[in-house]
Structure 1
């Protein structure tokens, strides 16, 4: 089985029927990622089969649960090397995608990928998510925010929920055990005007580690004081102070 066939079969395991053009785009993305990774250190995952499963399939698996075959505005915060935003854009071209990251070297890489793959209706933003959440051009402008960033759900919620329209959703990609993390994030999610709508559990084919998608719905406008200044959400995640006084 060649690379294209392996990629095709892997996507079919999550019910994605990719066209030849989409498969070629993902393969070109892989080649450019690995070449650039030699100097920029974008990912520790480099073997083709691992990138397919742990980056491409993992990024697109949310499409099994959410209808992405429609015109939606999506922002991917802390996108890094473009996951999940670029694979989602390739497989679901109707999406309008914004890729946000705080490191300029990653943004330059992403812009080269966009040009290489001839992707349209996709843009990059060099910024911290806290700053975007205070910017009127981005605050409460998106139907959906996604993130595979490694941070606790309380922190991610403060970065993401202010960017989502009322009625929109934030989907956090998680792995491993998350029950305590969900419990710890309940106050922050509510304080930021969201509610945990669903937790969808998913197993990557051939991987023992369980994945989950935490779906948070934006139920009303977020208070203007959120997000707090850059760095604060990660250093001091929102918590219910009353619980600390017991």
Structure 2
């Protein structure tokens, strides 16, 4: 788990009259938990663009945040600056036009691994989810062959993670570099799906047994790119973390 540090700051990647994209550092929450909470990315966005708090988004306290990232995850975070832009982004998420890419560094040879370097890619992992574990802090992928209890407790929506590339370790390396894509997200979706095929993310205290109970683990999981239509012009846009560019083949897979 990444320690919360009060000096963590967002970096603005792009902005215009309708939206802002920031690079959220690991350790900084995306949104406030309660009124008056200012240690989060949204509060920093509002400092720069007050209109991000001037309308009703998913929750009143979340303002124009279009989506959220886990506190321990670094990456691109999008906020709308107008009600019309927010509603447009919501429609894009529902119709599959809002695409999120993630880079993860994973344990490649864990005992439960069902992934092989010979596995054809892209690989589609699709499931429903249900809350799981102590305090319901985790989620459990519920696949078609799951038991009756899991199927009963799971939500009805199917969520798909597309594994686009897996660079397996060579020589003395111990981690695989994995690129994933989703167009509809559930809490911890990509992390839980990767763990389900035996590629748990390094530093993941929830889904990687090697890090259970370790409070100083660094999560090697990054929201590396966002792709969507401009909410006014309709132009197709792609934003990536500068230090984690997408391979040229990613958009065509």
Shorter-chain TM-score tier: under 0.3
Structure with the bigger percentage of strand: 2
Structure with the bigger percentage of helix: 1
TM-score normalised by L of structure 1: 0.28
TM-score normalised by L of structure 2: 0.27
